[in-house]
Structure 1
Amino acid sequence: MIYQPPTALPLDLLEEEEMQRSLAAHDFGTVFRLARERAGISYSRIAAECDIKPERVGSLARGTGRITTFDKVVQIADALRVPGHMVGLARRPWEAGLPADTHSREIGTNVRRRTVLQAAASAGLAAALPALHQAPAPDHIGSGDVAQLRARTARLRRLDDILGGGDTYRVYLSEYQSTKSLLRTASTTPDTRRSLLSLLAEQAQQAGWAAFDGGRPAEAGSLYEESLAAAREADDGDLLGNGFAFLAYQTADRDEAAVMAAHSCAAITDSAPASVRALLYERMAWACAVANRPADTERALAAAHTALDEQQHGEQQPDWAAWVDRTELDIMTGRCWTELRRPLRAVPVLTKALGRYDDAHARDKALYLSWLADAYLTAGEIEEAAAVTGRALELSSGVASVRPRQRLTPVLAQLGQHRDVPAVRHLLERAAV
């Protein structure tokens, strides 16, 4: 399926005068209604592109309520590619071929590096994003088409290396919605349909992960549940297990999370690739650590290490699990020991693993450093905890993810009990700024 880059709204398809009057009055409810009626753009797609709840879009289209805040007007105008002059704004950056958001806050060499990466990704995103106005879906989908879509999904997954879920959620959700539409409308063979369903499960999990990372837990849970349904229909045990693992990871009830993680590992088959087995076992270890089950944690970690040890040269790994390596497993091991309040085990393995972990993965490294800081606090090493927390704060600056701050907030609160230590006092002053 071929996607078109975002362009201005197709005013030739709409009642142009009514559209212009509505835009001038910031009556986006009418804009949304016309977009659906005349251009065939669904409210759910508008909601995803403009970061508005679908029911809110529908209410606005029915004339209930208005959008008046400046930030939201800008966001909608940019998402729909409405020229700035039509809504009382200056010429938008994208009208000149620039990314919509070109300002940045530069703090330190690695943050500047990430800012450049984000700008480059955003510039490429304009071409990669599925537009609101897609080319017509093909009547028939073959195995080659599914392979192309899977390769596109893999390429877009790389955005998660440098951008947070707040930046990527709409991208991944749109991919998922497009594949879901193909399943409804295109003809396929039974084998191709199963492949497309597996891809749908994979995309739902990626979109769910971005939703979770961007502070949308309800949307994440819904997408994970949909991924389970697609994986079951596709008879894809690997993705079924991964769906349970994702649900376990965000479930607040610790015992329930451990049960879900057990379901995840129960889906492992003899044919499961090494990276998939390692991923599911390490997430089982995490669920057990959070539930304060050290023996089960150690067994799951051992199983994950065994899976990687058994990986054969040239064994094909699915892209969604290929990131699991010994460094990631060492980091998970350190995180588990931190949760179990075993700092003498946690600190060495985390320090060594994070020493070889690239700062370009800023969100993840900031998160992992938060566990190292936590372990130092448990060990009573206050100055070390302050230094590591400061590094995590620097890395997390500007990342569109809620998770680093969620992790660092309780760490900062614990450090607040040691304000008499100069390193801590300095850190708290920086954090306040």
Structure 2
Amino acid sequence: MIDHEMDGVWTTPRFRKLLAEGQPGQALALVRKEMGLSQADFGALLHWDRTHAGRVERGEVGTIFDIRELVRAADALGIPRSALLPLLLATPDPGTIDYRGGEGVDEVDRRQFGLAATITAVAGVSMPPTGATEPIRVGTGHVTYIRVLTQRLWEHDNHHGGGGAFDYASRQYASVRPLLDSKSYGHRTGAELLSATGWLSNTVAWLARDSNHPGIARRHLTESVLLAEQCGDNALLAAALGDLANLAASSPASFAEPVRLARRSTELVSNIPSARMNALKAAEEATAYAAVGDEREFDRAMARVWREADRGLDSPDDPAWLEHVNEAELRAHEARGLRMLGHHARAAELCRDSVAHESCFPRDEASYRTYYAAALAGLGDTTSAITEAHTALTLLEGPVNSPRLLTELRPVRTAANHTRSDDAEHFRHRFDTLTRIA
């Protein structure tokens, strides 16, 4: 799956025109601004000071006309090297440029996720600029870069799921993590770097889980916990512990582990005003109680969920990873717990309500339809389950890449084995084909 929506500004006529006119600095400035980086941030990525970065963008120095520096700058901003051809050919429409093929895995990743920067430049392992003698110093530009990368990954996940982004995100985290050991930053920058890296690790964990790699997800969440503790980021700590609770609820290593993790996560956010955050944590706690069969505590936790929802779930201050938390998402959490407790009819009803919700991301629509189909299969309504699963598969074959959701449809596939109809046969074929691809 190629993500056309998040292609960078380098695909625009304006960018190509600037290159063709011999103004690469201004072309790079377009990309820098799209990424939300200041000139100082951009300069830090390339070991330039802010003044020099500004002069490069204005064309006052010839640094960027050194092919090594041009390529280094393009890599740092995640621009495919083929996008530089208008500068070399002096035409904004070379005709033979194919922005979607012929480059290699890393370049394809860059196009897929919009912000695919080669962070080896950040980590200081790429070729330094001519005349550079000092090692790169980690600064606010690197922190900004990691935050923008994390934001873009969540935005991608909201629309397209984690299946196509996990490998890329994992590689980027492996490049970012050594920055923490560079010892080239002060206390304040260090705390910000720990927090930003921890949130990136938390994001990679979700993408790993959505790609059916729970072991990798758990390792990244454990890393997030350690980083959160070091910098005192309680929101990050709560997010990581809540995700660990969700993992434990799926396959508990011990009877009490999901509850312990979820309750600690809830405690950590009690002083955070976000209704979304508190509702989500209460929902995770409810799921944990359901996983251990405690229906009474499940009901009490869900009552807290809806009290928080009554406060209002729309806040401009909530981060991207919380944007999907709405009434439909909370109903899906409740339905998951009810299924664990054996209440399949009520779970199916809630899943149907989530499917009917108009304002949700494509990945969430795929989730709700998948859960609804699985709940119908649990009720023994195989015909309706297959009908709903067909709709979920259409999303999973198209805009959404989520091996986890495909696995969630396995009960429908099992039920389809015992149904002799053209629709059931068609579903089996579609499911098996997508499973092989995944």
TM-score bracket relative to the smaller structure: 0.5 to 0.7
Question: Structure 2 counterpart of 1:253, which letter?
Answer: P
1:361 aligns with 2:362: yes
Q: Which residue of 1 aligns with 2:371?
A: 371
Alpha-carbon distance between aligned partners in 1 of 2:338 and 2:177, rounded to the nearest angstrom: 41
Compared with structure 1, are the counterparts of its residues 292 and 192 closer, same or farther at alpha carbon in structure 2 (3 Å cutoff)?
Answer: same
Alpha-carbon distance between aligned partners in 2 of 1:313 and 1:355, rounded to the nearest angstrom: 19
Contact 1:376 1:385 (8 Å CA) reproduced: yes
Q: What are the residue-to-residue correspondences of 1:185-334 with 2, within 5 Å?
A: 185=182, 187-251=184-248, 252-253=251-252, 255=255, 256-311=257-312, 316-334=317-335
1:397 aligns with 2:406: no
Q: Deviations over 1:357-412 (max 9, x none)?
A: 568624x4333323212322343433212211222222222654321221111222
SS of the residue 1:165 aligns to: coil
Alpha-carbon distance between aligned partners in 2 of 1:215 and 1:426, rounded to the nearest angstrom: 25
Compared with structure 1, are the counterparts of its residues 332 and 96 closer, same or farther at alpha carbon in structure 2 (3 Å cutoff)?
Answer: same
TM-score, length basis structure 1: 0.65
Alpha-carbon distance between aligned partners in 2 of 1:136 and 1:400, rounded to the nearest angstrom: 30
Contact 1:237 1:269 (8 Å CA) reproduced: no
SS of the residue 2:272 aligns to: coil
Compared with structure 1, are the counterparts of its residues 302 and 192 closer, same or farther at alpha carbon in structure 2 (3 Å cutoff)?
Answer: farther
Contact 2:177 2:197 (8 Å CA) reproduced: yes
Q: CA deviation at 1:122?
A: 5.7
Q: Which residue of 1 aligns with 2:387?
A: 387
Q: CA deviation at 1:227?
A: 0.4
Contact 1:327 1:357 (8 Å CA) reproduced: no
Question: Structure 1 counterpart of 2:333, which letter?
Answer: M
Q: Which residue of 2 aligns with 1:336?
A: 337
Q: CA deviation at 1:126?
A: 7.3
Alpha-carbon distance between aligned partners in 1 of 2:349 and 2:217, rounded to the nearest angstrom: 34
Contact 1:338 1:371 (8 Å CA) reproduced: no
Q: Which residue of 2 aligns with 1:124?
A: 111
SS of the residue 1:346 aligns to: helix
SS of the residue 1:278 aligns to: helix
Compared with structure 1, are the counterparts of its residues 253 and 190 closer, same or farther at alpha carbon in structure 2 (3 Å cutoff)?
Answer: same
Quick check: 200-209 or 343-352, which moved more?
343-352
Question: Structure 2 counterpart of 1:298, which letter?
Answer: D
Q: CA deviation at 1:201?
A: 1.3
Q: Which residue of 1 aligns with 2:99?
A: 98
Alpha-carbon distance between aligned partners in 2 of 1:175 and 1:132, rounded to the nearest angstrom: 7
Question: Structure 1 counterpart of 2:115, which letter?
Answer: A
Contact 1:99 1:123 (8 Å CA) reproduced: no
Contact 2:166 2:204 (8 Å CA) reproduced: yes
Alpha-carbon distance between aligned partners in 2 of 1:136 and 1:167, rounded to the nearest angstrom: 24
Unaligned runs of 5+ in 2: 1-40, 47-66, 73-79, 83-95, 125-135, 434-438
Alpha-carbon distance between aligned partners in 1 of 2:335 and 2:394, rounded to the nearest angstrom: 22
Q: CA deviation at 1:100?
A: 4.2
Alpha-carbon distance between aligned partners in 1 of 2:381 and 2:113, rounded to the nearest angstrom: 46
Compared with structure 1, are the counterparts of its residues 123 and 200 closer, same or farther at alpha carbon in structure 2 (3 Å cutoff)?
Answer: closer
Q: CA deviation at 1:135?
A: 5.2
Q: CA deviation at 1:426?
A: 4.9
Q: Which residue of 2 aligns with 1:154?
A: 151
Alpha-carbon distance between aligned partners in 1 of 2:372 and 2:420, rounded to the nearest angstrom: 22
Alpha-carbon distance between aligned partners in 2 of 1:145 and 1:308, rounded to the nearest angstrom: 36
Q: Deviations over 1:70-127 (max 9, x none)?
A: xxxxxxxxx999xxxxxxxxxxxxx94423499xxxxxxxxxxxxxxxxxx9673476
Contact 2:115 2:152 (8 Å CA) reproduced: no
Q: CA deviation at 1:204?
A: 0.4
Question: Structure 2 counterpart of 1:366, which letter?
Answer: A
SS of the residue 1:323 aligns to: coil
Alpha-carbon distance between aligned partners in 1 of 2:361 and 2:321, rounded to the nearest angstrom: 19
Q: CA deviation at 1:168?
A: 1.0
Q: Deviations over 1:23-55 (max 9, x none)?
A: xxxxxxxxxxxxxxxx9xxxxxxxxxxxxxxxx
SS of the residue 1:99 aligns to: coil
Q: What are the residue-to-residue correspondences of 1:101-116 with 2, within 5 Å?
A: none
Q: Which residue of 1 aligns with 2:139?
A: 141
Compared with structure 1, are the counterparts of its residues 381 and 217 closer, same or farther at alpha carbon in structure 2 (3 Å cutoff)?
Answer: closer
Contact 2:374 2:409 (8 Å CA) reproduced: no
Q: What are the residue-to-residue correspondences of 1:29-178 with 2, within 5 Å?
A: 96-100=97-101, 124-125=111-112, 128-131=115-118, 133-134=120-121, 137=124, 138-142=136-140, 146-147=143-144, 149-178=146-175
SS of the residue 2:165 aligns to: helix
Compared with structure 1, are the counterparts of its residues 385 and 334 closer, same or farther at alpha carbon in structure 2 (3 Å cutoff)?
Answer: same
Unaligned runs of 5+ in 1: 5-10, 13-38, 40-78, 82-94, 103-120
SS of the residue 1:354 aligns to: helix
Q: Deviations over 1:331-353 (max 9, x none)?
A: 22223223323233223322122
Equivalent pairs: percent with the same residue? Answer: 22
TM-score, length basis structure 2: 0.65
Question: Structure 2 counterpart of 1:124, which letter?
Answer: R
Q: CA deviation at 1:156?
A: 2.9
Query: What is the root-mean-square deviation of aligned Cα atoms in Å?
Result: 3.6
Alpha-carbon distance between aligned partners in 1 of 2:330 and 2:289, rounded to the nearest angstrom: 15
Q: CA deviation at 1:232?
A: 0.5
Compared with structure 1, are the counterparts of its residues 127 and 432 closer, same or farther at alpha carbon in structure 2 (3 Å cutoff)?
Answer: closer
Q: CA deviation at 1:207?
A: 0.8
Q: CA deviation at 1:302?
A: 2.0
SS of the residue 1:253 aligns to: coil
